[in-house]
A and B are shown apart, each in its own frame.
Chain A
């Protein structure tokens, strides 16, 4: 046999028993080569050389394009809209300022986020202050500065009223509502419930107060909502509520805020079909929302009143595909069940969303060798640190790079500082230049917030130091 001498690609010899009921060579066949050597037009090799691995790469162009397209979809159908950038989705300063330059307001949900928006230079009048926990000091500031406050519960409403009294002001508030659209599980823990009458009760309180004025309605029906009709129903319910309010009380609602929740092109682990097939295009959301809103506000046009301002707080749909994570294989294994596995220098510490998404994974150079089911592990000493439970990849070896995408939503905010430094985040500018927008952590960052009491200043004090501390009573004598 002459092929005895033919060169073979090295891979450890391996035999795999067939399990009946799951055999299909082409079942999960990916296209022969889906490697990509660049992200957002910049070479992966070059990026890693300059900024190290792992590395988050963000595209300014993609963010701007996503935002413009989404706004256009609403403007064409309804007229003026405001996008509130949901800080929690990604609050890296450069990302926020790209949004603001496109005209987006800041949607913040905590004292930190409020302070950050102000520090970036966002005027309070362009801050939407959401969230269930708004401590008094920050409410005082937000009210004094004139931010748009969305009320979550009755205690907060009372607190706002008392601050308004102290500051001798009439504060415009927006009421956060919750209700059942019939399409999604109601997020009934946030805001005031319509069906139970809580919301009406709150509006009564506002009507009775000389320091409060109700000017808007808000609700956020959930996240990654695949059904545009859920929004149509949301808007119908909100408009009905608005109409009742306007006919019974002396309110004039000028803002309808529909929250966020449009799905991004990402693959939820719990959804069978791929995102291209289940995620509706932005126009379908806009259609459902604007049609319902134009219908629901017709009564206002008839009486010559202006249409309310539409605010949407889309997070993941704007940012998700504008960021990728590049990482490096640190080692490979064969698992006992025969599958291939690789250990990466980035795990769920950086890619928190790997817990519920099957992110796309691309190799960065074309490779020979058979594509097979592979498990991708992160670097943590936790069993649940799995980046992909099952993905079809060619054989990997140490030093290979992988690109995860889309990763822009909720990772740069929910990532956790556990045993590893967090890496650089870079931005690819519209002209193709790259710069760091968040520096990688190092030891000084990690220790900066620590404080050592004097007697703990040394890990291994010598005996005389010990004696001094015992004598002075700083530490107790051990028997």
Chain B
């Protein structure tokens, strides 16, 4: 990337919008962690705008992470609605960059890329093709093409599969997944069909079924530069899980095998933007690719802790800084996720509810004083 391309602003002064700022304890979005990585970087002097989808998204009110915040339309409303809302926000804030953090919204952002670019907002995100090739229902084909193992999986549109699947070699327990989110281990046809119905009602068709592989869960986060290079991988082994199978404790590790797999993925797709590679290292020593997520994971704060601040790397790439200053990968840094209450005042809640945005702090203080 030519350093001269963006003569204007330095990344340090960027106004960056971040999505996925929901923070339910059992399954948080990555947005707050991304915001935290950026805010805590010693050279960052800009500000962060949180973009939420619900008045209970904690990031909306977390002023130490998001200097200001807004509600935006659900991904299901399509790109036109999103563009309309983003233009309103841009007029008020003057954004320099957006880091989308949720799978379901990425296609909307990808389709708006050039419009947003014209408005002066840049994003490091994959193309529609890259996004589709790694989609859950295409994953096994992609794995074959880059010679990576994947647990056998199948896209389903009819739950009757679960009645007869054992005869066809699909023995319980199996993993049943929604197209965008949610995965459940099921032990019987009955359980599978219940989960199927639940996933269909939220994420629609198809539903994915995958054979269970026994082993250690390893996750790798990195950034692709769009030319086939993988930058700054950080690898984490889950140490303890929430009920939803998310890490609530983990430790940084260095795994050569996984790094190679991830490099092949990034090169194979010419991946542009953040990604998370989820694998299981089977007890047979093989690495099985479970998922490629087109965004940062919610444990991305660990990257800051190990000296490879990936969200900041994205900003540097966007502003044309060649030197990413990532330290050597290290192992042995732990994280434990914990829940905390965020205090929200009535006026704050009210403006989010009625205006879809958080009122600026000063205005808030006035409201409170006059109340």
A and B touch in the complex (CB under 8 A): yes
New A-B pairs, 15, CB < 8 Å, besides A274-B76, A276-B111: A23-B353, A24-B71, A24-B73, A25-B355, A26-B73, A27-B53, A27-B71, A28-B74, A28-B77, A182-B154, A272-B76, A272-B202, A273-B78, A274-B77, A277-B107
Q: A301 contacts the other chain (Cβ, under 8 Å)?
A: no
**Residue on A nearest B354 in the bound complex, by CB:** A25
Given A182-B154, A270-B200, A270-B204: A26 touches B104 (CB 8 Å cut-off): no
Q: Which residues of chain B are near A29, meaning CB under 8 Å?
A: 73, 77, 81, 84-85
Q: In whole Å, how far is A183's beta carbon from the nearest beta carbon of chain B?
A: 7
Q: In whole Å, how far is B44's beta carbon from the nearest beta carbon of chain A?
A: 28
Q: A49 contacts the other chain (Cβ, under 8 Å)?
A: no
| Cα-based distance from A183 to B154 in the complex (angstroms) | 8
Q: Which of B56, B71, B108, B155 contacts A25 (CB 8 A)?
A: B71
Q: Which residues of chain A are near B354, meaning CB under 8 Å?
A: 25
**Residue on B nearest A25 in the bound complex, by CB:** B356
Residues of B52-82 at the interface with A, using a CB-CB cut-off of 8 Å, are 52-56, 70-81
Q: A447 contacts the other chain (Cβ, under 8 Å)?
A: no
| Cα-based distance from A23 to B158 in the complex (angstroms) | 33
| Cα-based distance from A10 to B1 in the complex (angstroms) | 58
Residues of B194-222 at the interface with A, using a CB-CB cut-off of 8 Å, are 200, 202-205
Q: B157 contacts the other chain (Cβ, under 8 Å)?
A: yes
Residues of B180-204 at the interface with A, using a CB-CB cut-off of 8 Å, are 180, 200, 202-204
Q: B179 contacts the other chain (Cβ, under 8 Å)?
A: yes
Q: A208 contacts the other chain (Cβ, under 8 Å)?
A: no
Q: Are A25 and B353 in contact (CB under 8 A)?
A: yes
Q: Are A20 and B85 in contact (CB under 8 A)?
A: no
Q: Are B81 and A30 in contact (CB under 8 A)?
A: yes
Residues of B153-182 at the interface with A, using a CB-CB cut-off of 8 Å, are 154-155, 157-158, 179-180
Q: How many residues of A contact B (CB 8 A)?
A: 27
Q: Are B203 and A272 in contact (CB under 8 A)?
A: yes
**Residue on A nearest B53 in the bound complex, by CB:** A24
Q: Which residues of chain A are near B104, meaning CB under 8 Å?
A: 272-273
Q: Are A26 and B157 in contact (CB under 8 A)?
A: no
Residues of A1-55 at the interface with B, using a CB-CB cut-off of 8 Å, are 18, 20-31
Q: Which of A22, A184, A229, A277 contacts B78 (CB 8 A)?
A: A277
| Cα-based distance from A202 to B297 in the complex (angstroms) | 54
Q: In whole Å, how far is B348's beta carbon from the nearest beta carbon of chain A?
A: 14
Q: Are A185 and B353 in contact (CB under 8 A)?
A: no
Question: A residues near B, CB below 8 A?
Answer: 18, 20-31, 182-185, 227, 229, 268, 270-274, 276-277
Q: Are B355 and A20 in contact (CB under 8 A)?
A: no
A-B contacts, 23 of them at CB < 8 A, read A18-B353, A20-B55, A20-B56, A24-B55, A25-B71, A25-B353, A25-B354, A26-B73, A26-B356, A27-B53, A27-B71, A27-B77, A29-B73, A29-B85, A185-B157, A227-B137, A270-B200, A272-B179, A273-B75, A274-B78, A276-B79, A277-B107, A277-B108
| Cα-based distance from A146 to B345 in the complex (angstroms) | 80
Q: In whole Å, how far is A36's beta carbon from the nearest beta carbon of chain B?
A: 15
Q: In whole Å, how far is A265's beta carbon from the nearest beta carbon of chain B?
A: 12
Q: Which residues of chain A are near B74, meaning CB under 8 Å?
A: 24, 27-28
| Cα-based distance from A22 to B74 in the complex (angstroms) | 11
Bin the interface of chain B by size: 35 or more
The prevalent SS among residues of A at the interface is loop
| Cα-based distance from A271 to B202 in the complex (angstroms) | 9
Q: Which residues of chain A are near B81, meaning CB under 8 Å?
A: 29-31
Query: Which of B76, B79, B179, B205 lies at the interface centre, i.e. has the most chain A CB atoms within 10 A of its CB?
Result: B76
**Residue on B nearest A184 in the bound complex, by CB:** B157
Given A21-B56, A29-B85: A271 touches B204 (CB 8 Å cut-off): yes
Q: Are A24 and B179 in contact (CB under 8 A)?
A: no
| Cα-based distance from A268 to B200 in the complex (angstroms) | 12
Q: Are B78 and A185 in contact (CB under 8 A)?
A: no
| Cα-based distance from A159 to B204 in the complex (angstroms) | 43
| Cα-based distance from A274 to B81 in the complex (angstroms) | 11
Q: Are B107 and A273 in contact (CB under 8 A)?
A: yes
Q: Are B200 and A28 in contact (CB under 8 A)?
A: no
Given A22-B54, A25-B355, A184-B157: A276 touches B78 (CB 8 Å cut-off): yes
Q: Which of A23, A26, A183, A277 contacts B85 (CB 8 A)?
A: A26
| Cα-based distance from A462 to B360 in the complex (angstroms) | 84
**Residue on A nearest B157 in the bound complex, by CB:** A185
Q: Which residues of chain A are near B137, meaning CB under 8 Å?
A: 227
Query: Which of A25, A273, A276 lies at the interface centre, i.e. has the most chain B CB atoms within 10 A of its CB?
Result: A273
Q: Which of A23, A268, A277 contacts B56 (CB 8 A)?
A: A23
| Cα-based distance from A22 to B53 in the complex (angstroms) | 9
Q: In whole Å, how far is B140's beta carbon from the nearest beta carbon of chain A?
A: 10
The 6 A-B residue pairs with the shortest CB-CB distance, nearest first, are A23-B55, A274-B78, A25-B356, A271-B204, A272-B204, A185-B158
Q: Are B111 and A24 in contact (CB under 8 A)?
A: no
| Cα-based distance from A26 to B137 in the complex (angstroms) | 31
| Cα-based distance from A272 to B79 in the complex (angstroms) | 14
| Cα-based distance from A229 to B111 in the complex (angstroms) | 22
**Residue on A nearest B161 in the bound complex, by CB:** A185
Q: Which residues of chain A are near B353, meaning CB under 8 Å?
A: 18, 23, 25
Q: Which residues of chain A are near B70, meaning CB under 8 Å?
A: 26
Q: Which residues of chain B are near A183, meaning CB under 8 Å?
A: 155
Q: Which residues of chain B are near A185, meaning CB under 8 Å?
A: 157-158
| Cα-based distance from A24 to B22 in the complex (angstroms) | 13
**Residue on A nearest B155 in the bound complex, by CB:** A183
Q: Which residues of chain B are near A20, meaning CB under 8 Å?
A: 55-56
Query: Which of A27, A31, A268 lies at the interface centre, i.e. has the most chain B CB atoms within 10 A of its CB?
Result: A27
Q: Which residues of chain A are near B80, meaning CB under 8 Å?
A: 31
